[in-house]
Structure formats: C-alpha cells, structure tokens
Structure 1
Amino acid sequence: MAAEPRLQAEQLHVQRAGKQVLAGISFAVAGGEVYGLLGGNGAGKSTTLATFLGFLPVASGRVRVDGRDVHADVVAARRAVAYLPEAAALYPHLDARENLRYFVQLAGVDSSATAIDAALDQVSLPAEARSRRLQGYSKGMRQKVAIALALLRGTGILLLDEPTSGLDPLAIDEFHALVRGLADAGKAILMVTHDVYGACQVADRIGLLRGGQLVAEFAAPAGQRIDTETVHRAFSARAAA
C-alpha cells in the first residue's frame, strides 16, 4: 500500500499580479522520498514553495500538507514544515549553538545543549566550528546549521529552495548525502532547483516545470539514480522551445 503523501498539489493554479504563474500542476511527495522540482528562472518553482507555505492565494486547485488544506489552516501547515531558503536567515554574530538555542526557544521545543549537539552531530558540523560566529562560516556550513534547526523542530517535511546554489562541488556532495540520509530516515523533501545533475543525484522523482506547467516527470529505477542525460535532454528541449 502506497504511503499517504505529506505534500500534495492538485490541479494548482496560482496568479501573481494578475499573471498566471502556475497552470494546473499536480504532484505529491511521501515520507521517505526526495522530489526534485526542476526548472529554469521564472518556471514557477519558488511560487510553488510559497504556496505550500500559505504565502500566496490559490486561484483554483488545492495544496495540502499532511492531508490538511494549507489555506484552511495555514498555522498548522507551517508548523509541519521546515523551509530552507537559498540564503538561510541565521544571525552572523552568533555561533551555531547560540543560533539554534535562540530559534528553538522561539519554537518552544527542546533547546538543551544535548539536543543541540545531537542535531549538529547529525548534520556533521565539526565540533571545533560550533562555537565560532557564523559570519566566518562557508555557505555549506550555514546550510548545515539550518538543517540542524529543522531537525530540532521535529518536522517531517523539508522545503528546500535552491539549497546548493553557490556551494563548491565537495559541499554539494555533502549536502546531497545529508538530504538523502534524511529522506531515508522518513522525511518528505521537496527540493526546487535548476541543477539537472544535482537533482538526478539525490531525487527519487523529478518534475520538470516550465512556464508554470509540469511538463514531464522522471522516476529513479529501483536501486538506481535518475538518468542525467535523459533529464538534461528534456530540460534543454523545453528550454529551447
């Protein structure tokens, strides 16, 4: 029996400033999988995330988080997800532990030193870096702190917005390994990206978004990755159309 989706878009239409940005897209993400929403600039990727967070009204269709209509209970929907933007909004003058302690106290969850260090262990942030201010961190290290915050909040759903943009190749590989591990532990992960190779490395399924429409989907064969060349050809053909 297939797992119930944690995230679901059903014939979703969204307009911004009177212009249609999403035109009837439908997809679902279950626990234990990474869904890569792939597309170029202006395809509607970030609009999709904003709609799941309840920041944009729906012209027609539905978005659901854990079976709830987002706009019927936006507070519950936001509580169920952790959103990681391209540039994580953390305080550069605080160290990793101080950032996590501050944000989890705001969320009303366990802010003990033991819990914080356990989350930082899980994302493999080096022990010697944890007491350094974030202003000296690389982007990859800041992303790890942001993921640790999501783990501390105990959410089962992650929304990732171009998470590897600006990372070096080693940091990208480390981030993908972290995301894959979280999915294998049962998290539902929706990652929007324009990086074909990266999406194929980590995603179980990929939806190709163009002009607000989901024009193709690709699934990884059992025990394998999605074929990069196949997706790249489809991406390039759509981009040139």
Structure 2
Amino acid sequence: MNMASPLEARSLSLVREGNAVLDGVSFTVAKGEIFALLGGNGAGKSSTLLTFLGFLEPSGGEVLVNGRSVGSDVAAARNAIAYLPEAASLYAHMTAYENLDYFLDLAGKSATKDEIDVALDRVALPNEARSRRLQSYSKGMRQKSAIALALLRETPILLLDEPTSGLDPVAIDEFHDLVKTLAEGGQTVLMVTHDVYGACQVADRVGLLRHGKLVGSFAAENGQRIDTETVHAAFAGREAT
C-alpha cells in the first residue's frame, strides 16, 4: 500500500483580483525530502505556502497534506505544519524565552526552559541574548528565534518562506545544515526562496516557478548537490554554458 505524500499540489490555480497568481502548479514532497520552490518576486511562491495552510483557497485544483485535501480539514493540515514566514511576528517587548513559551502555549504545546535552550542552541542564538527583549535584536536574531519556535512545534512538516532572510553567511550555512538534519530525521520541508545558491545547497529537488507556472525541475543525483550554474541559467531565462 502506497503512503500518501506529506505535501501535494494538484493542478493548483489561484486567481486574486482578476490576476492569475498560480496556474496549474503540480508537485509532491516526500517524507524526509527538502523541496525548494525557487522564483523571483511575484512568482507565486508565498501564495503556494498559504494554500497549504488554508489561508488562501485555490481557484482550481487542490492541495493535500498527508493525503487529505486542505479544504476538507484545515485544522488537521495546520496541526501537521510548522510555518516560518519571512518576517516573523514575534513580540518586541518580550524576551526570546517569553515569546517561545507564549506561542507554544497558543499552539497547545509546552516546553521547559531546558528544552527551549536546546532549540536556541541549535539555531545558535547567544545565551546572553535570550533574556533580553526582542526590541534589541537584529533581524537575524529574530529570525533565529522564530526558527527555534518552529523546531519546538515538532511537526512532521516544515514550510519555510525565505528562511535565511536577514542571516549572515555563517548563520545561513548553519541553518542549511540544521534543515538537512531535520530531513534526515524524517521531517518534510517545503521552502520558498529567490536564492539560487541556497536552494541548490540544501534541497533534494528544486522547482522553478515563473509567473505562477512551474517551468523547471532539478534534482540532486548520486549524492551530489544540484548544479548551481544550470539552475541559475534557467532562473535567468538563458541556457547554461
């Protein structure tokens, strides 16, 4: 018996204010796989994530989480997913500990201070910063706090929207290593990004989205990374040389 894919888009279309945001997009993401949806501004990347969360209703086709249509059971889909938006909405007047404890409680989960520290260690947020209010944080530090929150949710699926935005190069490499470790542990990752290098560095497969259509697909083979030059050429709309 075949197991349902954790994430699947079937001929997904989305029209907003008369404009076609997504046009017949289809893909699946297997358990333990990292799939990067690559595209420029306005390509429809974030809208794709929001359909999986049930925040946008498809105009055509459907999206499925663990084999069930999101439209038929939004609560089940959201319970299976941890979502990291590009601009995390954490509270500036609260500390990292307070933010994580608060948002975990909203999600019906709890964590001890030690468990929160383990998550913050994994994202390399400095110890001295954890009891400070987030109003003193850089964008990168806020992003690390949000990533830690996603980890603490312990969901089987992660949706990541431009997850390395605001991070420095070292932190980006650390984040990619973390995502690979999570996938090796069985978590399914769908990330959207405009960063060709980052997508090729971390993903098992890359789908190229342009003007709402999936126009290319690239896969890592024989344990090698996806070729950055080939994907960059496709992203730029030219042939690789």
TM-score (norm 2): 0.92
Deviations 1:208-237 (A, max 9, x none): 001111011000113111000000111111
Asked whether the 8 Å contact 2:140–2:165 carries over to 1, the reply is no
Distance in 1 (CA, whole Å) between partners of 2:13 and 2:69 is: 15
Provide the secondary structure at the position in 1 that maps to 2:182: helix
Partner amino acid for 2:154?
G
- Of 199-208 and 52-61, more deviation after overlay is shown by 52-61
Match of 2:74 in 1: 74
- Aligned CA distance change for structure 1 residues 179 and 64 (closer, same or farther; 3 Å): same
Distance in 1 (CA, whole Å) between partners of 2:183 and 2:3 is: 14
Match of 2:182 in 1: 182
Match of 1:154 in 2: 154
- Of 200-209 and 107-116, more deviation after overlay is shown by 107-116
Structure 1 runs (4+) deviating above 3 angstroms are 1-4
Deviations 1:120-146 (A, max 9, x none): 233333322221222222323222221
Aligned: 1:83 with 2:79: no
The correspondence of residues 1-241 of structure 1 with structure 2, limited to 5 A, is 4-237=4-237
| Identical-residue share of aligned pairs (%) | 67
Give the drift of 1:81.
Answer: 0.7
In structure 1, list runs of 5 or more residues that go unmatched.
Answer: none
Provide the secondary structure at the position in 2 that maps to 1:192: strand
Deviations 1:167-186 (A, max 9, x none): 32222222222222222221
Partner amino acid for 2:218?
F
Distance in 2 (CA, whole Å) between partners of 1:136 and 1:177 is: 27
Give the drift of 1:3.
Answer: 6.3
Partner amino acid for 1:25?
V
Give the drift of 1:153.
Answer: 1.7
Provide the secondary structure at the position in 2 that maps to 1:235: helix
Give the drift of 1:78.
Answer: 1.2
Partner amino acid for 1:219?
A
- Of 32-41 and 160-169, more deviation after overlay is shown by 160-169
Distance in 2 (CA, whole Å) between partners of 1:137 and 1:3 is: 43
- Of 154-163 and 198-207, more deviation after overlay is shown by 154-163
In structure 2, list runs of 5 or more residues that go unmatched.
Answer: none
Give the drift of 1:107.
Answer: 1.7
Deviations 1:6-30 (A, max 9, x none): 1110111111112221111111112
Distance in 1 (CA, whole Å) between partners of 2:101 and 2:125 is: 16
Deviations 1:35-82 (A, max 9, x none): 110011111111101111111111221101111110111111112111
- Aligned CA distance change for structure 1 residues 179 and 140 (closer, same or farther; 3 Å): farther
Asked whether the 8 Å contact 1:95–1:131 carries over to 2, the reply is yes
Aligned residues between the structures: 238
Provide the secondary structure at the position in 2 that maps to 1:149: helix
Partner amino acid for 1:50?
L
Distance in 2 (CA, whole Å) between partners of 1:95 and 1:27 is: 39
Distance in 2 (CA, whole Å) between partners of 1:118 and 1:195 is: 28
